[in-house]
Chain A
Amino acid sequence: MKINKKTRLLGVVASVTLLGAALAGCSTQPSATSQAPTTPTAPATTGAQPVYGGTLNLDLAGAFPHLDPVKAYDTTSYEAVLQFYNQLVTYKGATNTIIPSLASRYTISPNGKVYTFYLANAKFWNGHPVTAQSFITEFERVLNPVNSSGGQGFIDPFIAGSNAYYSGHAKTISGLKSLNGGKTLQITLTQRDPVFLYVLAMPFFSAVDPTYIAGHSESYIDHNPMGTGPFYLASYQPNQQWVLKKNPHYFQKGIPYLNEIVFTNNSSPSAELLHYKQGLTGLLGYNIGGNGIPSQDYLPIVMSPTYSKQVYKVVQVATQYIGLNNKVGPTANVKVRRALEYAINKNYLVKVLGGRALPANQIIPPSMPSGYEAKLPANATYSYNPALAKKLLAQAGYPHGFTTTIYCDNSNPDDLRITEAVQSMLKAVGVTANINQSSWGTFLTNNETGNQPMFNLAWVEDFPDPSDFLNTLFNSNQRPVNNSTMYSNPAVDKLLNTAANMPAGTARDNLYKQAQNIIMSQAAWIPYAYPVFTAAVQPWLKGYYLNPNQVDPLQYVWIAKH
């Protein structure tokens, strides 16, 4: 999804950070290894015996907007919902591999259309058992227009009968069946969907207790969760403090270790840093509210000999880019766009970000399990060369450059700094770019009209599949909302549409690579950085790792004596 990298002042945004990552020691992406000073997959806990008990204090940048999985479509809510609820499947540790969760095992039919989930023996906090109906109810809630769930687009029309249910033509979702006395859930799809398991790992599709749902108002459920998760909400003071306590009957034996997690609302990055330094909080820059250590707190941490050792880094499955309008203005001319690619010094932008990024040369980030190209064709490769940029601009008919506007939002100081740096680089090749900075809401609405000449934005995966980047952002049927550069190329559309229904594998990956090569050669975007997620973790907090697609592993961490 489009993301404003950080939501300090905002507190609430309609975007999700699914922080993807390739980790040191993880086979998917060696390029990330160089960036990781510590080895998150094998934290300092190795060999040590986990300790039970204790309270973990964490600062929370803004109140949890939603505790109802149906509505959890922002970073902050995401964090909470994953502590309170479980899904059918989940990601294994620090990898992109899907493993069973509330489904103890599952099978997929050979045509890729029928998924059968055999449910684990789990209970909600109120003692009610998890059954197939727990999921059917949740799918129905996601598809019920009344709930305005962000999850609807992920299953409608892919699950059989989902659209009929959404539009009110059917009372049930025909593709969902409770079998074997509720112990088995069968899901039938309309077509093969290689990303379906990733979708099921999203919090939208958690198990909920049907009797609890039926007995309480939608607003009540949103603030009083009832799940199967490792922690339950013991008490909260609105906007101040949330106390999570250990679920003693958690269906996974042996965890969680912590007795209690206390989230305290503190929207000030300066105060957050000082709290961490005082040892009051266990983590600085966990996923809540954005992408890691707050921008303004990062340098003081890495410049300190003590704190720099506590930093975990990992490359996100995300790309920061300058969008160029492919339809209107000077950038509608492919020669102009190609010229601008040479004007941007990506290494400098990475430096401006304090090293919290890798320079980007393509749309798919290296942390994506498939689709990233080690070597791009020559006509899709660009390097920093302002003289060449000027020459190409002259050839394109703009010997004296042109004046344009570059849009960005004001939620994260980094965005403005990067935009200013880009502005100054464009100036060097004769292009005058005025900056239009606005709140995230205004920026997004404006962006989705497809009329912004240039904009600074990032795209973070919904799930680790190249379709989530290429199809969502460059298919002409995604104009103007997601494809807000208004890129349109029938050849690319054909590749993307073909790949969408193919089984995962090399053949499919190659189609995405072909599509990316065409898009890059036409310079629809200037991808400039792959953001690096950072977190500082107290030495006494053990068992922590940065996992690729979900939020913090709070159920696996424990507090060592200190």
Chain B
Amino acid sequence: MATVMETQNGIKQTLAYPQKKPAPRVWRLLKAYPLVFLGGILVLGLIFVAVFAPQLQHFNPNQQFQNGLSAMGGPLPPNSTFVFGTDDLGRDIFSRVLFGARVSLEVGVFSSIISLFIGTSLGIISGYFGKFVDTVIMRLTDIMLAFPLILFVVALVASLGQSITNLFIAIGVLGWAVTARVVRAQVLSVKEYEYVQAAKALGASNWRILTKIIFPNIIPPVIVLTTLSIGNNMLLESTLSYLGIGVAPPNASWGNMLAEGQQVFQYAPWLLYYPGLALLLAVLGFNLLGDGLREAFNPRRVR
């Protein structure tokens, strides 16, 4: 182990810039972090379920079965017809979990893309052009970061109205500040490289420097952040559903299934456990993957 670390330390010092790593090192890290594989498998599994939900479904996920409710009007436990049981409207939980994968992944991905887009653009502008623009943008990120997270989204959805698009926007708008800060820091450090200075001196245009040098260097941290934020946003969607402002019915998301399930968990825990397990595995997958990628891209970086 000592030698590995020593080599790494050596790499750390000599290869601190630029950030691109030789492939074999990534491979070694993957071996050192088997959890990354687990993460990858979980994420691929999630994508598979989301894509093939219509093929895998047992029933129409939104259909309310009259025989899906007990005589008392309660949900049915898992049985041969409804393998994961039914929910409190007599719908098949198995099929809803499958389709929930779609919606939850959509929320995770689209809101992360929004954060990614805003955060990266503002981060680059801020870091590269500096001065007044930088001050303004950084102040803005300070404001965003100081906002009580959930209150902001709740208030935003309350004023925009409840729809899945507004949910993407609310979560996305919330998440860009961290990305912007990371990107800016990265741009600042890359900007100081001698070869960037040299390129500038040789008269390379801003555009060329941005696209050819700066942009490739900010990709690794941004990938890590985005991977982690997909998982976090899926989790945030469940929280918002719990607060009654998640994905609008009747479409299932794991979040609104959990929100329904938490009401009845004392006597119908399957409403909570199946979507809960699905959400756990998916978010865990993104967390493991993001964590591993971070280690792979930069062993010094923490959170």
Do A and B touch each other in the complex, judged by CB within 8 A? yes
* Whole-angstrom CA separation of A353 from B64 in the bound complex: 14
B249, A352: Cβ atoms closer than 8 Å = no
State which of A108-116, A247-255, A293-301, A505-513 sits at the interface with chain B. A293-301
Measured between beta carbons, the chain A residues less than 8 angstroms from B267 are: 299-300, 303
Residues 56-70 of B, flagged 1 when their CB comes within 8 A of A and 0 if not, give 000000111010010
Cβ of A536 to closest chain B Cβ, rounded Å: 14
B74, A435: Cβ atoms closer than 8 Å = no
The listed residue with most A CB atoms (<10 A of its CB), out of B158, B243, B267, B268, is: B267
Residues 262-274 of B, flagged 1 when their CB comes within 8 A of A and 0 if not, give 1111111000000
A417, B89: Cβ atoms closer than 8 Å = yes
B69, A442: Cβ atoms closer than 8 Å = no
* Whole-angstrom CA separation of A354 from B88 in the bound complex: 9
- Name the residue on B nearest A299 (C-beta): B74
Cβ of A393 to closest chain B Cβ, rounded Å: 21
Measured between beta carbons, the chain A residues less than 8 angstroms from B250 are: 420, 423-424, 435
Which of A269, A270, A352, A419 is in CB contact (< 8 Å) with B73? A352
B74, A303: Cβ atoms closer than 8 Å = yes
Does A170 sit at the interface, judged by CB under 8 A? no
A437, B69: Cβ atoms closer than 8 Å = no
A355, B263: Cβ atoms closer than 8 Å = no
* Whole-angstrom CA separation of A111 from B232 in the bound complex: 71
Cβ of A325 to closest chain B Cβ, rounded Å: 19
Given the known interface contacts A296-B263, A421-B89, the answer about A438 and B162 at a Cβ–Cβ threshold of 8 Å is yes
Does A436 sit at the interface, judged by CB under 8 A? yes
B243, A9: Cβ atoms closer than 8 Å = yes
Query: How many residues from A make CB contacts under 8 Å with B?
Result: 34
Cβ of B280 to closest chain A Cβ, rounded Å: 20
Which of A302, A351, A413, A438 is in CB contact (< 8 Å) with B263? A413
Does B260 sit at the interface, judged by CB under 8 A? yes
B264, A299: Cβ atoms closer than 8 Å = yes
Does B161 sit at the interface, judged by CB under 8 A? yes
Main secondary structure of the interface of B (DSSP, over half): loop
The listed residue with most A CB atoms (<10 A of its CB), out of B89, B262, B263, is: B263
Cβ of B85 to closest chain A Cβ, rounded Å: 14
B189-206 contacts to A, CB under 8 A, are: none
Does B248 sit at the interface, judged by CB under 8 A? yes
Measured between beta carbons, the chain B residues less than 8 angstroms from A421 are: 64, 89
Measured between beta carbons, the chain A residues less than 8 angstroms from B63 are: 424
Measured between beta carbons, the chain B residues less than 8 angstroms from A411 are: 244
Does B169 sit at the interface, judged by CB under 8 A? no
A352, B158: Cβ atoms closer than 8 Å = no
A269, B263: Cβ atoms closer than 8 Å = yes
Does A87 sit at the interface, judged by CB under 8 A? no
A420, B249: Cβ atoms closer than 8 Å = yes
Measured between beta carbons, the chain B residues less than 8 angstroms from A353 are: 73
Does A439 sit at the interface, judged by CB under 8 A? yes
* Whole-angstrom CA separation of A206 from B267 in the bound complex: 43
Measured between beta carbons, the chain B residues less than 8 angstroms from A295 are: 263
Does B167 sit at the interface, judged by CB under 8 A? no
Does B245 sit at the interface, judged by CB under 8 A? yes
Given the known interface contacts A296-B263, A410-B244, A417-B89, the answer about A423 and B249 at a Cβ–Cβ threshold of 8 Å is yes
Extra pairs beyond A411-B244, A435-B248 (19, CB < 8 Å): A9-B243, A270-B262, A270-B266, A299-B268, A352-B73, A352-B88, A353-B73, A355-B73, A416-B249, A420-B64, A420-B250, A423-B250, A424-B89, A436-B161, A436-B248, A437-B162, A437-B248, A438-B161, A442-B158
